[in-house]
């Protein structure tokens, strides 16, 4: 039976007078692949930042594995749209943070670079890589130390369509192999339905809809179309057309 990893209870977030998250209540199970979708400004990234402990809730509580998140959530890693690689460090050093004499860390970095198909780029510098390669390095870096929770904040938004599809497949492969709980924020409804086992629509600062997707991977376009259509109705109209 699945265990609950993350409990989000009655969470509200204000920026001044702006109420950007209202009474969010949700449980995320261990090993789930969750997608948060919805119109821009709805509060998806804010929710992700609260889970990462990069910001504090105004009211309510978020707990991971029974522990309230208070300060940086050290059992999670975040990957953003911009890769945030350190330009003065090689790819390998970006993963090990320069601790190349730490044999275990170096071995983990090399293993991850192999998994993201960048074995030959360990000594390259970020500026010499393509956008897709840089995001693969960022993904490998996020997986160093095997985080319990992987938080993806629109990480594929700046990639071309083909590279984006390949990255989706790579993330799914690593998620399946490592069984890490993953939360993806995305504008792309098809991406959400293609990848996630559980999808939440954030609309007007609330959870407006949730659905479970148990279709086997890889998911063909025809297999994702019905749920994607339903979600688009919720995002645009706030209700499902009958």
Closer residue to ligand ATP in complex, CB, 22/178: 22
Instruction: Check residue 90 and report its DSSP letter.
Output: -
What does the block give as tokens for 227? 């749920």
Closer residue to ligand ATP in complex, CB, 93/206: 206
Provide, rounded to whole angstroms, the least separation between the CB of residue 92 and ligand ATP.
31
Provide, rounded to whole angstroms, the least separation between the CB of residue 138 and ligand ATP.
18
228, containing H or E segment: helix 221-237
C-alpha to C-alpha distances, 82 to 19, 104, 132, 164, 190, nearest whole angstrom: 27, 28, 11, 14, 21
d(CA 32, CA 224): 18
Residue corresponding to tokens 């991971």: 64
Closer residue to ligand ATP in complex, CB, 16/66: 16
- CB-based contacts of 122: which residues, under 8 Å, 6+ apart? 90, 91, 92, 109, 110, 113
Provide, rounded to whole angstroms, the least separation between the CB of residue 195 and ligand ATP.
17
78 - beta bridge partners?
A: 151
Provide, rounded to whole angstroms, the least separation between the CB of residue 154 and ligand ATP.
7
Closer residue to ligand ATP in complex, CB, 14/88: 14
- Residues that bind ligand ATP in the complex, under the rule CB under 6 A: 15, 18, 20, 38, 40-46, 187
Provide, rounded to whole angstroms, the least separation between the CB of residue 193 and ligand ATP.
17
Whether residue 115 contacts residue 108, with contact meaning beta carbons closer than 8 Å, is answered with no
- Residue 69 has φ and ψ, to the nearest 5°, of -80, 120
Provide, rounded to whole angstroms, the least separation between the CB of residue 239 and ligand ATP.
20
Closer residue to ligand ATP in complex, CB, 47/143: 47
Tell me the residue length of the chain: 242
Closer residue to ligand ATP in complex, CB, 48/112: 48
**Mapped to the 3 state alphabet, what secondary structure does 157-206 carry?**
CCCCHHHHHHHHHHHHHHHHHHCCEEEEECCCHHHHHHHCCEEEEEECCE
């Amino acid at each position: 039976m699945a265990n609950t990893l993350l409990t989000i209870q009655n969470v509200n977030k204000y920026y001044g007078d702006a109420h950007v998250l209202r009474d969010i209540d949700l449980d995320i199970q261990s090993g789930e692949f969750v997608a948060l979708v919805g119109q821009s400004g709805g509060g998806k990234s804010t929710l992700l930042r609260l889970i990462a402990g990069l910001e504090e809730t105004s009211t309510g509580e978020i707990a991971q594995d029974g522990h309230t998140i208070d300060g940086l959530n050290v059992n999670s890693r975040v990957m953003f749209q911009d890769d945030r690689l350190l330009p003065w460090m090689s790819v390998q050093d970006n993963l090990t943070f320069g601790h190349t004499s730490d044999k275990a860390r170096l071995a983990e970095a090399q293993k991850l670079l192999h998994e993201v198909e960048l074995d030959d780029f360990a000594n390259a510098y970020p500026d010499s890589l393509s956008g897709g390669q840089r995001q693969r390095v960022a993904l490998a870096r996020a997986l160093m130390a095997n985080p319990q929770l992987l938080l993806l904040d629109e990480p594929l938004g700046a990639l071309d369509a083909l590279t984006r599809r390949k990255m989706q497949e790579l993330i799914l492969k690593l998620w399946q192999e490592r069984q890490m709980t993953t939360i993806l924020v995305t504008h792309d409804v098809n991406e959400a339905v293609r990848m996630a086992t559980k999808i939440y629509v954030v609309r007007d600062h609330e959870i407006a809809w949730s659905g479970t997707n148990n279709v086997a991977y890889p998911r063909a376009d025809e297999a994702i179309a019905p749920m994607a259509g339903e979600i688009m109705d919720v995002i645009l109209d706030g209700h499902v057309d009958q």
